Amino acid sequence: MDDASMIGLMGRVTGTIGPGLVGEVIVRVRGGAEHFLAYAADGAVRIERGTVVTVVEHLPPRTVYVTAVYDS
C-alpha cells in the first residue's frame, strides 16, 4: 500500500498515544484490519484507547501519524 492511499483512512486507538509514548491503532485496509505503530500528529497531545482517529501521514511499512476525530 502506498503512502497516499493510507492518508485519510480512519482507525481506532488500541494503545494510548502521547508524548513519549508509541501507541497503536487498528486501521481497515486491504479488505481487512491491520495494526500500526502510531504517533500523534501534534506531538503534545494524548490520544486515549478507543478514540477514533484519521491517518495524516504514513511511514512504511507500519508507522502512522494520526489526529483524533471529534464529533461536533
What CA–CA distance (Å, rounded) separates 72 from 60? 32
Q: Which domains does the chain have, with CATH numbers?
A: 3-68 (2.40.50.140)
pTM, to two decimals = 0.90
CB 13 within 8 A of CB 48: yes
pLDDT value of residue 72: 47
Task: Report phi then psi at 41, rounded to 5.
Answer: -60, -35
What CA–CA distance (Å, rounded) separates 3 from 10? 14
Over residues 9-26, the pLDDT tens digits come to: 999 999 999 998 999 999
